[in-house]
Chain A
């Protein structure tokens, strides 16, 4: 089958689209400023990980990572306003020990961290800069290594079929992921243990127990990456691996993903704020850093607009998806992500009892396609109206596939007929792939021939959603982004600037803040200003 992105099929008002983009730019400006002026405990921990600090104190999933301990000690002794790297490398220099040994000694409380002065300042700074250069090279090498691997194994044809494993046990996830790949899955996402987003540390090592998902740990990333590399070689098709850069440890997880060559990461500009009640300042600061890391590592981000439709009415709130996509796009551009790295999300969630719902789904999906012609769009299957009638659900998933095929969606998260019943059986995934292969195989060429009647229902619906999106963005730009979230304009959920989890980890940068990793990342990926 030949994949194509059908563009120019709907006559949409491109001036409105341009206005939406410039409104998004205006709206995101204070967020960019906030991100430049602040750091967070997790961002600093990510930097420590990048220069080679690893390991934990204690055991099990509740062991405290050494990066957490070092950041705590730096905060306690000299504060985080100047960043951790300078005082940390000063401590390394003073003790003349390795990075890891120094970190462990700080963690044990054996050395007190101090700020360097005079020559010691320059020595520590040079040491930090050298370490940063190596670290940033390591992030960049993920992109080159991936290209090399794709060259060797072969690139998967689009659309990419995306499936989820979530057993809680990495050793159980691996055979399931390999089975899925063998049946035609191109992207494996390992769902995280529920609640990991609210942990302010990253669990360590291979894990075998989780709740409805598997903990995101660097070792779990490494094990799954290796398993997918080997099955990819066997199949002649590079299998992509996905995880979640969200929650309180977003920057660290983004960093681990780069180090272990993950390919896609869930990373939405507002998901944590709205749906997990994570403080908005924490989220925006962490996100900017995470997105720079993703940009340099060649990781495709997946945004979470589908979530808006799982709570709200998918017809009435269709424009909120589009508005969020414009904001996600802008906040990705300023962090240096290319359009080809923007897996903007949307979903097939209209009530199947609503009249003309398939035409409406096509209008929404095609509108997104037209607005973001170069983005590898990620299309999410029905979840809200999956009732447990698995037979009807299988048909919904088939119609979802058809709409995805006709509107040229790049990344297809395969719908499970047992959605909402249990985590998928091995056979559920296999049936989902059979369904998708049938529909995408049968409708691929049709996608290139579909035209919509001028002024017809589909076109008028798309125009209406676009207009409602413009109105929403205008309103947000008038009152301001933070104020809009405080007013409950997203998913009817009110979040305050100082509410939610994680504000205590947000630190305003001092005049003498030093972070050569952030400097180098900014230099390398630039980002649109």
Chain B
């Protein structure tokens, strides 16, 4: 492919729609400031199509502008999913053949995060978006530790259940707490000598899959991940003998 630009209503017009708030009172100066800002962002022919005061100290803008930048999709680095999406019977079969027993999965939300919505979406029978959770898979034994579980508790559970996989979820975060908390679990597992024999998976809406290496996790799942993707990944990891058990 060649260089492309956003498509508004004609090829290569580069039109982008955007909105933001400036911390200043509504005025002609505010409008000109918004235009100047967008010029600096690399937009041409920018227009303010809507401008509204939010109280005496803020102004909200809706704008359009043509970007001066372009992209060649062939030269963009992408990490494609490197495992096939499998149906439940196939997941179960791979586990049965690979392990000769059920796969033990321990899941937890760690740190200050009390929101189990992501963890439950992946683990609970009910699942998420019409996709059944890991509890639904006959060959998986799921231990859902819930919210605010400490790394030490995770290590203890991993030992007592002889877990094969650990899933750590972080939903609500501020100031990169989600990254810190994932690192704490990895370090605790490493210190206990459990890290290497486990499949360690992290997930949550603020993560992207590219972060796996930096976090020292085998896989990171981001926003909108369905349980079947996680199940397929775990089965794939076992089939490819990530586990020696």
User: Out of A178, A179, A183, A195, which one reaches B114, CB within 8 Å?
Assistant: A195
Given contacts A211-B172, A277-B146, contact A311 B117 (CB under 8 A): yes
- Measured CB to CB, the closest approach of chain B to A496, in angstroms, equals 13
Question: Is B115 part of the binding interface, using a Cβ–Cβ cutoff of 8 Å?
Answer: yes
A388 adjacent to B223 (CB under 8 Å) = yes
A178 adjacent to B55 (CB under 8 Å) = yes
Question: Is A395 part of the binding interface, using a Cβ–Cβ cutoff of 8 Å?
Answer: no
User: Out of B126, B147, B174, B223, which one reaches A276, CB within 8 Å?
Assistant: B147
Question: Is B190 part of the binding interface, using a Cβ–Cβ cutoff of 8 Å?
Answer: no
How many chain B residues touch A (CB < 8 A): the figure is 30
Question: Is A279 part of the binding interface, using a Cβ–Cβ cutoff of 8 Å?
Answer: no
Inter-chain contacts of A197 with B (CB < 8 A): 114
Inter-chain contacts of B139 with A (CB < 8 A): none
Inter-chain contacts of B223 with A (CB < 8 A): 388
Question: Is B225 part of the binding interface, using a Cβ–Cβ cutoff of 8 Å?
Answer: no
Given contacts A194-B172, A211-B173, A212-B173, contact A276 B114 (CB under 8 A): yes
Inter-chain contacts of B71 with A (CB < 8 A): none
Nearest CB in chain A to that of B172: its residue:
A212
A311 adjacent to B55 (CB under 8 Å) = no
Question: Is B192 part of the binding interface, using a Cβ–Cβ cutoff of 8 Å?
Answer: no
- Measured CB to CB, the closest approach of chain B to A199, in angstroms, equals 10
Question: Is A492 part of the binding interface, using a Cβ–Cβ cutoff of 8 Å?
Answer: yes
Inter-chain contacts of B57 with A (CB < 8 A): 175, 179
B55 adjacent to A198 (CB under 8 Å) = no
Inter-chain contacts of B54 with A (CB < 8 A): 179, 183, 426-427, 430
User: Out of B126, B146, B148, which one reaches A492, CB within 8 Å?
Assistant: B126
Inter-chain contacts of B146 with A (CB < 8 A): 277
Given contacts A426-B21, A427-B21, contact A182 B114 (CB under 8 A): no
Question: Is B87 part of the binding interface, using a Cβ–Cβ cutoff of 8 Å?
Answer: no
| A to B contact number (C-beta, < 8 Å) | 64
- Measured CB to CB, the closest approach of chain A to B72, in angstroms, equals 26
A425 adjacent to B112 (CB under 8 Å) = no
- Measured CB to CB, the closest approach of chain B to A491, in angstroms, equals 10
Question: Is B164 part of the binding interface, using a Cβ–Cβ cutoff of 8 Å?
Answer: no
Q: How far is the CA of A197 from the CA of B147 in the complex (A)?
A: 11
Question: Is B209 part of the binding interface, using a Cβ–Cβ cutoff of 8 Å?
Answer: no
Q: How far is the CA of A212 from the CA of B111 in the complex (A)?
A: 13
- Measured CB to CB, the closest approach of chain B to A168, in angstroms, equals 6
Q: How far is the CA of A463 from the CA of B120 in the complex (A)?
A: 31
Question: Is A374 part of the binding interface, using a Cβ–Cβ cutoff of 8 Å?
Answer: no
A211 adjacent to B113 (CB under 8 Å) = yes
Interface residues of A in 250-278 (CB under 8 A from B): 275-277
Nearest CB in chain B to that of A387: its residue:
B224
- Measured CB to CB, the closest approach of chain B to A95, in angstroms, equals 39
Q: How far is the CA of A388 from the CA of B224 in the complex (A)?
A: 10
- Measured CB to CB, the closest approach of chain A to B134, in angstroms, equals 15
Given contacts A212-B173, A420-B205, A426-B21, contact A492 B124 (CB under 8 A): yes
B174 adjacent to A212 (CB under 8 Å) = yes
The residue among B21, B54, B60, B147 with the most chain A CB atoms within 10 A of its own CB is B54
A427 adjacent to B19 (CB under 8 Å) = yes
Q: How far is the CA of A420 from the CA of B173 in the complex (A)?
A: 12
Nearest CB in chain B to that of A195: its residue:
B112
Interface residues of B in 89-144 (CB under 8 A from A): 112-117, 120, 124-126
Question: Is A477 part of the binding interface, using a Cβ–Cβ cutoff of 8 Å?
Answer: no
Interface residues of A in 272-322 (CB under 8 A from B): 275-277, 310-312
Inter-chain contacts of B147 with A (CB < 8 A): 198, 276-277
Question: Is B177 part of the binding interface, using a Cβ–Cβ cutoff of 8 Å?
Answer: yes
Nearest CB in chain A to that of B54: its residue:
A430
Given contacts A178-B55, A212-B174, contact A194 B113 (CB under 8 A): yes
Inter-chain contacts of B117 with A (CB < 8 A): 310-311
Q: How far is the CA of A197 from the CA of B224 in the complex (A)?
A: 27
Known: A193-B112, A211-B177. 4 other contacts (CB 8 A): A179-B55, A182-B55, A276-B147, A427-B21
In the A-B complex, list the 8 residue pairs whose CB atoms are closest, starting with the nearest.
Answer: A195-B112, A212-B172, A179-B55, A194-B172, A430-B54, A427-B21, A182-B55, A427-B60
What are 29 sample pairs from A and B whose C-beta atoms fall under 8 A apart? A168-B174, A178-B55, A179-B57, A182-B56, A183-B55, A194-B114, A195-B112, A198-B114, A210-B174, A211-B172, A211-B173, A211-B174, A212-B173, A277-B146, A310-B117, A311-B117, A311-B120, A311-B126, A312-B126, A387-B224, A388-B223, A388-B224, A425-B21, A427-B19, A427-B20, A427-B60, A430-B52, A430-B60, A492-B124
